[in-house]
Amino acid sequence: MRACSLLPVMGGKKLQSSGRAGVWSLVERQHGVIARRQLLDLGFSRHAIEHRLNTGRLHPVSAGIYAVGRPEFTREGRWMAAVLSCGLGAILSHAAAGAHWGLRPSSLIEVSVPSGRFRQRPGTVVHRRSGLGEADATIHRGIPVTTPTCTLIDLAVRLPLAELERAVNEADRLKLLTPGSLRADLEVIPSRPGSARLGGLLDRHTFVLTRSELEQIFIPIALRVGLGLPLTRQWLNGFEVDFHWPHLGLVVETDGLQYHRTPFQQARDRLRDQAHTAAGLTPLRFTQHQVKFHPGHVERTLRAVAGRLAA
């Protein structure tokens, strides 16, 4: 695991001359909090620390962690204080990391520490973990935290699929990652709890059939409904359609990629459906994943729409 101590000195060397000036820059980066060990490394003596505690310049937050200047601090300050209190190598993780990245709100404070280290902290859920490497940790707005990919893997263990999907969409919207880069990350990161569930969600939304595979799977569904053979690869109203039944005025389109469709692609899909509707056709749209893995839903929908059109 990456050691994110945030100390502005190396090797524990005391900085007698610049420590007092440097502390303010460090405190600002750390959202108003600082650790006792950092003050000592910056050149403050134990007596100087006690003096500042007695005069109200430092305010205890937890064992060895202080708020500077005033006892109140922000949500980021609480996260930073929790990470500092858990020692070197500690990083914000799980629900707290999700909130810090803006993926979903949470009031939980969760920190991961290297396996073998046992730390209980009031108000903080501490996870002892092995298998996390430097690629799993980063610093976001001054706070050591699991990367967006690692955070989503952790969330995948506990979130319902619908909420996990929203978290992935939010990460995409915030440009923290793309579904493609997330899927690529899962291929190289060693498997851990949550990896398979997250990968399954991505596969469900990035599933793509070849044209021949799609026709081999979809046409039997249409035949079971009684629609007969459709026309394929026809041009209607300026667009190539997947399946067309002229006698019903029914057009079926299938989407192979649901995640990360660009605004241009979404706008073109709307124009396509609007053009067909304006021409008196009935457009239906399924995902290719639905055609492959949920044929019953596709069949029921086709049967209902075809029955209405035939009537």
The token pair at 290 is: 């639905």
Gap between the Cα atoms of 183 and 152, Å rounded? 12
Gap between the Cα atoms of 84 and 70, Å rounded? 18
Of 183, 179, 177, 212, whose CA–CA distance to 195 is shortest? Answer: 183
Give the DSSP per-residue string, 22-76. Answer: HHHHHHHHTTTEEEHHHHHHTT--HHHHHHHHHTTSEEEEETTEEEESSS---HH
Domains belonging to the chain, first-starting first, are 74-204 (no CATH), 211-310 (3.40.960.10)
Gap between the Cα atoms of 97 and 298, Å rounded? 39
Return the pLDDT at 64. Answer: 84
- How many other C-beta atoms are found inside a 10 Å radius of the C-beta of residue 159? 20
Return the pLDDT at 54. Answer: 86
Give the bridge partners for 232, in sequence order. Answer: 243
Of 144, 78, 141, whose CA–CA distance to 114 is shortest? Answer: 144
Gap between the Cα atoms of 44 and 16, Å rounded? 8
Threshold 0.75, pTM exceeds: no
What does the radius of gyration of the chain's CA atoms come to, in whole angstroms?
Answer: 28
Identity of the amino acid at 236:
L
Q: What is the 3-state secondary structure (H, E, C) of 167-181?
A: HHHHHHHCCCCCHHH
Q: What is the 3-state secondary structure (H, E, C) of 88-151?
A: CCCEECHHHHHHHHCCCCCCCCEEEEECCCCCCECCEEEEEECCCCHHHEEEECCEEEECHHHH
Tens of each residue's pLDDT in the chain, 311 residues: 333 333 332 233 333 334 566 778 888 888 888 888 888 888 888 898 888 888 888 888 888 888 888 877 789 999 999 999 988 889 999 999 999 999 999 999 999 998 776 667 788 899 988 877 778 899 999 999 999 999 999 999 999 988 999 999 899 889 999 888 898 899 888 888 999 999 988 887 777 778 888 899 999 999 999 999 999 989 999 999 999 999 999 999 988 765 656 677 778 889 999 999 999 999 999 988 889 889 999 999 999 999 999 88
Residues with Cβ within 8 Å of residue 69, at least 6 apart in sequence: 32, 57
Contact predicate 252/286, CB 8 Å:
yes
Return the pLDDT at 160. Answer: 94
